[in-house]
Chains A and B, each alone.
Chain A
């Protein structure tokens, strides 16, 4: 008779079921930690809410009188910056999560993760996905508050934005992991803020439409237009209003793939240890 024990011997192959259990386990753990750390959740909401309720209020008239895609009417500045702020949550979470994967790993949870007999690339991608899914909860909490504040995209748009937000979350986490693997100066979060988060965020279409940037300076416009974060923001902005921005989707998909592959290939726990010892 086959017992459960014999079905899981050290010599047996790990089939698709094992991969599924592993992925599920990683996501469940991320969820349980999220539930335990409600204060972190609230503090992560404070940042975008300050931008929305304070910063945007002061810039209410900043957009002038143009109607821009994907909106089909005049919009308030608050409405304009909500997609960018949603992506900002993902940007912060992605960078923070990836940084801790690289620099906390000797301290515990990454060591446990890495003793799994499943392929490392799978474990890392599973971890990125789990972080991304949890970040989505924060984004939707933010969108809910924005809704009551008066920024009300169509309900179907809120649903259509889900896959776009997930893709953006993965893109930014993969980028974060890639950067933390490679750049020594990013060992602390202040470095990431100054050299990654702020440039990506401010040089994008998150706060101002690109045509506005062009009025100010042509080269600034081009930097913003080429910034992957602009594409992330536009993908989400269009999805929120039930439109597909094909270029943004292609850029985000392509870059997510490239960053994830490079991040997995360059992930080596030894590097951080060797650097510290140097």
Chain B
């Protein structure tokens, strides 16, 4: 069973189309990168996957649960890190995590154990009582990852999670998520517009102007030069 399956997904804003007939699979336990220039439709896609927007065309399944038929079951299997930080800056790390656990209806005892576990894994145990405002960008992202994993989702969505981080933190975050994927068997969909976050072995999806223009193993798609392939695939027509 695929971790995530999109079938003929289309979405229109009032006057323009944001996604057209997008279909792909994210295999379980893999790191899948969704690459696309700004405005390719990545954020719209994430908004559909997280049920901020309603599906207009096609369907999405998360581990076999259709967003149309069993949306709440689908959401339970999903952990999300949004592009813009969604943490309460004036609350502590732990308070933010508790809130998320409550939203998922987790019993308090289990919540406490899971928070200990996730904070230790993100090396944030020392910072648990600090206000999020005091944390740097890289650490805030880690809190968001800890939060996204609290309810033990099987699929982690990261929407341009590295935006706004300095190069070192960006690299560290990317490495960290890959490790989670390897160690925990977590399925990951990592959206980005930055080529250097994609590795040769990744499953790669390339989105451009609302269409999926390529999918496959990154090394197979790009050959020796992924950058050139990406540019070729997403080249804008001359005006």
- Partner-B contacts on A (CB < 8 A): 4-5, 7-8, 10, 14, 17-19, 21-22, 24-26, 28-29, 32-33, 36-37, 105-109, 111-119, 123, 268-270, 273-275, 277-278
Contact = CB atoms under 8 A, between A and B. Distances in A.
Contact of B105 (A4, A118, A269): A118
Interface centre among A26, A107, A113, A277 (most CB of B within 10 A): A277
Contacts of A8: 106-107, 110, 151-152
B161 to A, nearest CB: 14
B75 A116 contact: yes
Contacts of A107: 84
B106 A21 contact: yes
Contacts of B82: 108, 111
A112 B51 CA distance: 11
Given A108-B84, A269-B52, A115 B103 contact: yes
A214 to B, nearest CB: 48
Interface string B1-15: 000000000000111
B91 A115 contact: no
B19 interface: no
Contact of A25 (B14, B75, B99): B99
B50 A21 contact: no
Interface string B67-100: 0000011011110101011111011000100111
A98 B146 CA distance: 29
B104 A116 contact: yes
Given A25-B98, A108-B86, A116-B75, A7 B110 contact: yes
A133 B80 CA distance: 29
A19 B106 CA distance: 9
Interface string B117-158: 000000000000000000000000000000000011110000
A28 B106 contact: no
Contacts of B152: 5, 8, 10
B13 A116 contact: no
Interface of B: 13-16, 47, 50-54, 72-73, 75-78, 80, 82, 84-88, 90-91, 95, 98-110, 113, 151-154
A113 B88 contact: no
Given A29-B91, A119-B72, A21 B54 contact: no
Contacts of B86: 108-109, 111-112
A11 to B, nearest CB: 8
B72 A117 contact: yes
A269 B80 CA distance: 17
DSSP class of B's interface residues: helix, strand, loop or mixed?
loop
A117 B102 CA distance: 11
Contact of A268 (B54, B72, B76, B153): B54
Given A106-B52, A116-B75, A273 B13 contact: yes
Contacts of A113: 103
Of all A-B residue pairs in the complex, the 5 with the closest CB atoms, nearest first, are A25-B102, A18-B105, A277-B13, A278-B14, A116-B103
A1 to B, nearest CB: 15
13 contacts: A4-B109, A7-B110, A8-B151, A8-B152, A17-B105, A25-B98, A29-B88, A108-B84, A108-B85, A109-B88, A116-B104, A117-B72, A273-B13
Contact of A118 (B95, B103, B113): B103
A4 B107 contact: yes
Contact of A277 (B15, B91, B100, B104): B15
A65 B101 CA distance: 59
Nearest to A15: B105
B102 A21 contact: yes
A17 B52 contact: no
B54 A32 contact: no
B10 to A, nearest CB: 14
B231 to A, nearest CB: 28
B102 A270 contact: no
Contacts of A105: 52
Contacts of A10: 73, 76-77, 152-154
Contact of B88 (A24, A33, A114): A33
Given A21-B108, A25-B98, A273-B52, 10 more contacts: A4-B109, A4-B113, A5-B110, A8-B151, A10-B153, A22-B103, A111-B82, A115-B50, A115-B80, A116-B104
A29 B15 CA distance: 38
Given A32-B91, A270-B53, A17 B100 contact: no
B100 A112 contact: yes
Interface centre among B54, B82, B99, B101 (most CB of A within 10 A): B99
